[in-house]
Amino acid sequence: MNDLDKNSESLTPPLRGAPCIQAYLKTLDQSPGVYRMLDENARVLYVGKARQLRNRVSNYARESGHSGRIARMISETTKMMFLTTKTETEALLLEQNLIKQLKPRYNVLLRDDKSFPNILVEFSHAYPQIQKHRGAKRKKGRYYGPFASAGAVNRTLNQLQRAFLLRNCTDSMFENRTRPCLLYQIKRCSAPCVGYISEDDYAGSLRDAERFLAGKSTDVQGKLATEMADASDAMEYERAAALRDRIKALTQVQTAQGINPQSTPEADVIALHLDGGQACVQVFFIRSNQNWGNRDFYPRVGPDIEEAEVLEAFIGQFYDNKDPARLLLLSHPIENADLMEQALGEKIGRKVEISLPLRGEKADLVSFAARNARESLARKLAETATQGKLLKGLTEAFDLEGVPQRIEVYDNSHISGTNAVGAMIVAGPDGYMKNQYRKYNIKGDDITPGDDFGMMKEVLARRFKRLLKEDPDREKGLWPDLLLIDGGAGQVSVVAQIMRDYGVSDIAMIGVAKGEDRDAGKEEFYRVGQRAFALKHNDPVLYFVQRLRDEAHRFAIGTHRAKRAKSNFATPLDEVPGVGAARKRALLAHFGSAKAVSRANLADLKAVSGVSGALAQTIYDFFNARG
């Protein structure tokens, strides 16, 4: 745009609403594509797709006939942007990507988008593990899932371990065992590490476990029952009892799974319930005729929205980083089911079918999911109402300017200054916002070990520096309305100075300190320029603040423990260039310890499997240069 264009634009008031949209029609054709509606501050209000852009956009150019939500969106529109695509499917995929990236105010938005765990059988070892896996499926092996939660995976793995006596130790631990661990003693492992089971017999147990995961539980249990009867007839009562326990463990897995459909081997059951401008979507995962759990989601929706729009937006965003089942069973129809089937099918390279069952087992599955969605939303609305009352009480108790929509709570954790971490948790009208939690490894070289003031100063400085970089105009909802600091006058003074340094003066901040005897219930509260004060012992707001502080403390302690555990397993080999996990295992297996590796001569290092002459020289030089 040249200067003349800029001047003329500034002199001419921009069109707004339907006339603005009408002005774009003459530039559009019937190509498929994606459109964006922007307000006067160039913020994206809405992202939509169209089979035919001109036809779709012309609907918004009408002066009347819109729902309240759409009418408001049109009235705020001062500009539109367009992207044409080759196919309608491309338009659908592009729309969902832009929604997730831009988070427009008037779109349905999936707020929780975590990946789901799977069970992985990896075959890189003679005695493979069955292990939990989350994230991209880059490791070679067979994956079973998804499971709705880590808890569901852990319970299944626990029972499979009991039933099939499969190992769960790391490869390096396996290679260095000289006698069985406790799991063998309590009949949870067959001790392949010390040769108590042959490779062929272990492989047989692994095949049985995979058959069970593949839905052939009846065959596996029948085989075990036959073996138990044979052992009993042969008066091998100890073996018969062990087989009985394995059958019982498999039965417990099936019982925990609840509904296990007979005629639906694989499906994702997706049910929606709308109430009062709020939505809940329940997703049940059916794999190998087994129910592997369910998860509820609460997408951001507005009033005057239809089920079809919510479900279509949810499905598009939900499967952006997940593989769908071959069959999606829905509670409500969506507008572009054919496009969605094609897009999901192209994504995973096989056919995906979307169905709305009306009778039979599949309809029962959808009905069950819909009931769970309805009940979950009712509980959520009740919790939100309670949370709203507490936030209002918090506003009154601390004389805040408005009800906080985002509360950030900070805490530090360390032991004598070692493995120091800072933690931030976030809460709002809907409760804890766990996807916004952050942890901070304390980096400051000038911080004295155990200096809580210095650690808090570093954490808050990094937080505000990032906020000013990522959201300088405070448009993305990342800025807090209230800071709660675990500490008294000293911490409050430090944080107040940091806020002044970064030019932040409009965010309320409160220090929460234990009172006399450090008893919960006698907390004192500190604000800049004010005397410390306390709340009544039975005040609900006091309990609310305690829960927030305790959640921050829990998160900080967990982060600290994880860091400490990681450091405990660190070795000097971690610092050697070119030595990754596989070569580290090989070196430890060959020499027995990192200390022995550091003392090894060059010839011995070259003798280790997988260690080249050049790498052996690097390792030798690394340790000899240090010593």
Question: Tens digit of pLDDT for each residue in 480-518?
Answer: 999 999 888 888 999 999 999 999 888 999 999 876 655
Same domain? For 372 and 421 the reply is no
Per residue in 313-345, pLDDT tens? Answer: 999 999 988 889 999 999 999 988 999 999 999
Give the bridge partners for 409, in sequence order: 425, 484
Per-residue pLDDT for 188 more than 90?
Answer: no
Per residue in 378-408, pLDDT tens? Answer: 988 888 888 999 999 999 999 999 999 999 9
| pLDDT confidence bin for 596, thresholds 50/70/90 | confident
Residue 580: CATH number of its domain? 1.10.150.20
Given this model, what pLDDT does residue 9 score?
A: 38
Same domain? For 291 and 162 the reply is no
Averaged pLDDT score across all residues of the chain = 85
Same domain? For 489 and 563 the reply is yes
**Which two three-digit tokens encode residue 21?**
């949209």
- Mean pLDDT (whole number) for 193-221: 82
Backbone φ and ψ of 41, nearest 5°? -100, 15
Q: Are 52 and 31 in contact (CB under 8 A)?
A: yes
Question: In which domain, by residue range, is 551 found?
Answer: 407-567
Q: Is residue 66 part of a domain?
A: yes
Same domain? For 557 and 423 the reply is yes
Q: Which of 190, 225, 257 is the last residue of a domain?
A: 257
Given this model, what pLDDT does residue 219 score?
A: 66
Per residue in 541-567, pLDDT tens? Answer: 999 999 999 999 898 888 777 766 666
Torsion angle in degrees (nearest 10) through CA of 488, 491, 493, 494? 180
Q: Is residue 7 part of a domain?
A: no
Q: Is residue 397 part of a domain?
A: no
Q: Where are the alpha helices (DSSP H) in 426-539?
A: 452-470, 489-501
| pLDDT confidence bin for 122, thresholds 50/70/90 | confident
Per-residue pLDDT for 626 more than 60?
Answer: no
Same domain? For 25 and 160 the reply is no
Q: Which of 529, 545, 567 is the last residue of a domain?
A: 567
Q: Are 451 and 458 in contact (CB under 8 A)?
A: no
Same domain? For 503 and 417 the reply is yes
Q: Is residue 385 part of a domain?
A: no
Same domain? For 69 and 199 the reply is no
Given this model, what pLDDT does residue 521 score?
A: 61
Given this model, what pLDDT does residue 370 score?
A: 95
Distance from the Cα of residue 39 to its chain's centroid: 32
Total number of domains constituting the chain: 5
Per-residue pLDDT for 255 more than 90?
Answer: no
Same domain? For 126 and 179 the reply is yes
Same domain? For 130 and 179 the reply is yes
Given this model, what pLDDT does residue 548 score?
A: 93
Per-residue pLDDT for 143 more than 80?
Answer: yes
| pLDDT confidence bin for 609, thresholds 50/70/90 | confident
Same domain? For 361 and 278 the reply is yes
Q: Which of 361, 379, 397 is the last residue of a domain?
A: 379
Given this model, what pLDDT does residue 6 score?
A: 38
Same domain? For 295 and 240 the reply is no
Residue 534: CATH number of its domain? 3.30.420.340
Same domain? For 66 and 143 the reply is no
Q: Is residue 112 part of a domain?
A: no
Cα separation, 261 vs 266, whole angstroms: 9
Given this model, what pLDDT does residue 1 score?
A: 38
Given this model, what pLDDT does residue 252 score?
A: 63
